[in-house]
Structure 1
Amino acid sequence: MGLTKETARIGFIGTGVMGQSMVRNLIKAGYELHVYSRTKSKTDELVALGAKWHDTPAELARETNVVITMVGYPHDVEEIYLGEAGVVRHAQPGAYLIDMTTSSPSLARRIEKEAALRGCHSLDAPVSGGDVGAREARLSIMVGGETEVFDAVKPIFEALGTNIVHQGPAGAGQHTKMCNQIAIASNMIGVCEALAYAKKAGLDQATVLKSIETGAAGSWSLSNLGPRMIAGNFEPGFYIKHFIKDLGIALQAAEEMGLETHGVKLAKSLYGQLAAHGKEDKGTQALYTLYI
């Protein structure tokens, strides 16, 4: 079992903020790319780079042996994979189906089961690193599924990220991504409050960052999103609406395991306030606007 650049025909579904850059990096790495997006215009630049457009996910699945998805919500994932016109029903036997959306661990297990019944291989492989990580091929990729399947497609992951870890069986990638989102949720509150405090204290926020970002308070959000907050740049590297979705998945999974996650509840409530005021399409750093 294995794929090479000569044998892999990759279909990519979902060319939004993250997907655009991911497809570019796969093309740059020398892979054959096929693309589908609900908004065809989002694929125009990719087609100009050599990717082939398909009118439906089913058509894309029939002409490829690897399908990667990076879409918005679990219901999108379910429709794309398990619907009557979905990827599982139309994929070639032996195809590799890789969902890189942040989705539900239980859905990942369902997809693997249905894919296996049709002779296909499935992985859940959500990512972290935001728009910058996607653009620079420095994503952290958390993978759930069989070891042999992971090994077969690892070279494809290596064109997209630098921290690629097989976490365990189906669903383990999604559970790991929930750990990531849980850690970010409370940290983002701390970043916003620290910068708001610096401003209220009359300090130069950029100078404060120089002191605290390399110490014990350091984090990806502080170093990468802190400057955007200071500059008033709230455009999305990662949408608030998608973070609310992720926090909802984390809360449900935690509840099923009997775990209280107080920080997640608070973060979801605060981001819900932003969404209620029409900011669901802003970046997660827009949480700062609640403090200024």
Structure 2
Amino acid sequence: MKKIGFIGIGVMGSAMALNLMKKGFEVSVYTRTKSKADKLISQGAQWCGSVGECARNKDAVITIVGYPKDVEEVYFGENGIIENAKEGSYIIDMTTTSPKLSERIFEAAAAKGLKALDAPVSGGDIGAEKGTLAIMVGGRKEDFDACADIFGAMGTNIRYEGKAGSGQHVKMANQIAIAGTVCGVAEAVSYAKVMGVDVNIMLDTISSGAAGSWQMSNNGPKMASGDYAPGFFIKHFIKDMKIADEEALSKGLSLTVLEDVCAKFKELESKGMGDLGTQAIIEYYKK
């Protein structure tokens, strides 16, 4: 497979598409705001004027957009991916979205002779730039295997999780774990500050022990310095947490830590902070 259509050129998508190009894939791109794709176009990506155009005559089509409603918009309808992708091509949604929507896409794609995979990612903007994303894939195992080179261009921890929707369920578990961790790091930073401890020394000290985590190593220093540039938007994290909570509640499972963290982030969003990075949760604890 050589020809890739890539839809969604945001914080993550731009770096992911560039890594595909570096590995020799011929990448065509579409995003609602063309200027976001200027860097990729200048480096050889082909611009497409619509979703349908980007999907046509490609070996694989990759999407990473914002919300479930955006996923639905690009996959369904007359100008959507399912109606325009060539028979036998692979359609790979790397958005974090509803597992039920991933199952629906899988079934609609199969009816058209297409091979659908749900493949959400973790690793933030840093992982996207370095090509070290964790990629969690649901769908048919043979389709996952066929796309190994595509996934390998963007990530290093690439796992087949099971049937359609399974990639999304694993990503929900990832977001549930992050929710508690990012707030735990924010509370540790807040505690050190009010106690007059040097926050950066504190982070260096405890990050190599049992308290260590990606959130502590990467977002802890940003919290300490007030760097809220988004590697992952608060508004998108809220979306993910809401999906996870809805899925859990549908099975009678109550996730009280997740719900508490989501409420904290919603409070920040209500104050106009939805476009900041998740490390801005430290603002919740400021006196």
Distance between the aligned counterparts of 1:212 and 1:16, measured in 2?
A: 33
TM-score, normalised to structure 2's length?
Answer: 0.99
Letter in 2 for 1:199: K
**For structure 1, which runs of at least 5 residues remain unmatched after alignment?**
none
Q: 1:195 matched to which residue of 2?
A: 189
Matched, 1:28 2:22: yes
Q: 2:83 matched to which residue of 1?
A: 89
Letter in 1 for 2:221: P
> Helix, strand or coil for the counterpart of 2:227?
coil
**For structure 2, which runs of at least 5 residues remain unmatched after alignment?**
none
> Helix, strand or coil for the counterpart of 1:162?
strand
Matched, 1:267 2:261: yes
Q: CA deviation at 1:73?
A: 0.3
- From 1, 11, 14, the counterpart of 2:5: 11
Q: CA deviation at 1:63?
A: 3.0
Say how many residue pairs are matched: 286
Q: CA deviation at 1:82?
A: 1.5
- From 246, 254, 267, the counterpart of 2:248: 254
Q: CA deviation at 1:154?
A: 1.0
Matched, 1:171 2:136: no
TM-score, normalised to structure 1's length?
Answer: 0.97
Q: Where has structure 1 moved over 3 Å in runs of 4 or more?
A: none
Letter in 1 for 2:247: A
Letter in 2 for 1:70: I
> Helix, strand or coil for the counterpart of 1:188?
helix
Matched, 1:137 2:131: yes
Supply the RMSD in Å over aligned alpha carbons. Answer: 0.6
Seq. identity, %: 52
Q: CA deviation at 1:146?
A: 0.2
Distance between the aligned counterparts of 2:211 and 2:78, measured in 1?
A: 49
- From 40, 44, 66, the counterpart of 1:46: 40
Q: 2:156 matched to which residue of 1?
A: 162
Distance between the aligned counterparts of 1:286 and 1:10, measured in 2?
A: 35
Matched, 1:218 2:212: yes
> Helix, strand or coil for the counterpart of 2:275?
coil
- From 120, 125, 128, the counterpart of 2:122: 128
